[in-house]
Amino acid sequence: MRVVIAEDSVLLREGLERLLTENGFDVVGSCETADDLLLKARSYSPDVAIVDIRLPPTHNDEGMQAALELHARHPSVGVLVLSQYVEVGLAMKLLAESADGAGYLLKDRISDVKEFVGAVERVARGGSAIDPIIVSTLLSRQRRDDSLSDLTPREREVLELMAEGRSNQGIADKLVISLRAVEKYVSSIFGKLGLPSGATDSRRVLAVLLYLRS
């Protein structure tokens, strides 16, 4: 898988390059500005771009704006945004229209190499990767209809993993249960929340996130 990285911290950028290379990725471009990211994306046709949400010159949201532009202009390129802080509004902005090939993770997740590499691979293949803290924040907000209270503890666990972007098999592996059991939980969750199941993992991620945000 071909990767481009936009990160203004030299230490983190070089660390990401090494981590990804050691795990079989081909880092075809690395830079520290949004303009360079868009140029490298056009030049090298990566499978996925890893983008710091705040880039020079102002360190406000240049990275996010570049990620949105990249996602719109090159839908075949997965975009994984990295952030130092939990910013639910910006995360939902990235996922507003489609969760296909989109991800938002806190930089702390990089230390869990297996999980981080898995997230990069999911996004590169057109799936999703949403930070668990984003999901937990949305789940903790009180909904008027309070239908989340109808979920069993296990269904809530499955819902959280589903919203993070994991496939049914990924959920089964994480919870050490059978794939059939996961399918039953997912069906029950969608029934209780009144959501369409969707044809793809990313569609159901978007459905869950929109539900939790409402």
- pTM confidence score: 0.86
Residue 164 belongs to domain with CATH number: 1.10.10.10
CA separation for the pair 162, 203 (Å, rounded): 11
Same domain, 19 and 114: yes
Q: Which of 158, 163, 160, 150 is nearest to 203 (CA)?
A: 163
Same domain, 97 and 150: no
Q: Could you give the C-alpha distances from 72 to 66, 105, 166, 179, 194, in angstroms and in order?
A: 10, 20, 23, 34, 30
- The helix, strand and coil proportions of the chain, stated in percent and rounded to the nearest 5, come to 55, 15, 30
CA separation for the pair 47, 72 (Å, rounded): 15
Same domain, 178 and 100: no
Same domain, 43 and 94: yes
Q: Are 84 and 59 in contact (CB under 8 A)?
A: no
Segments of the chain scoring below 70 in pLDDT: 142-145, 198-199, 214
Q: Could you give the C-alpha distances from 212 to 52, 105, 117, 206, 208, in angstroms and in order?
A: 25, 18, 26, 10, 6
Domain final position from 75, 96, 129: 129
pLDDT of residue 61: 87
Could you tell me which residues are beta bridge partners of residue 50? 5, 80
Same domain, 202 and 118: no
Same domain, 80 and 11: yes
Same domain, 148 and 108: no
Scan for tokens 């993992």, then name that residue.
201
DSSP secondary structure string for all residues of 131-146: -HHHHHHHHHSPPSS-
Containing structural domain, residue 76: 2-129
Same domain, 124 and 146: no
Same domain, 148 and 194: yes
Domain final position from 96, 129, 162: 129
Q: Are 202 and 98 in contact (CB under 8 A)?
A: yes
Same domain, 101 and 152: no
User: Residues 121-137, buried b or exposed e (16+ Cβ, 10 A)?
Assistant: bbbbebbbbbbebbbee
Query: Half-sphere exposure of 48 toward its Cβ, with a 13 Å CA cutoff?
Result: 27
Domain final position from 72, 94, 129: 129
Q: Could you give the C-alpha distances from 48 to 55, 107, 134, 149, in angstroms and in order?
A: 18, 17, 21, 37
Residue 6 belongs to domain with CATH number: 3.40.50.2300
Same domain, 47 and 142: no
Q: How many domains does the chain divide into?
A: 2
Positions of E strands within the chain? 2-6, 26-31, 48-52, 78-83, 102-106, 128-130
- Provide the 10 A C-beta neighbour count for residue 191: 11
Same domain, 190 and 206: yes
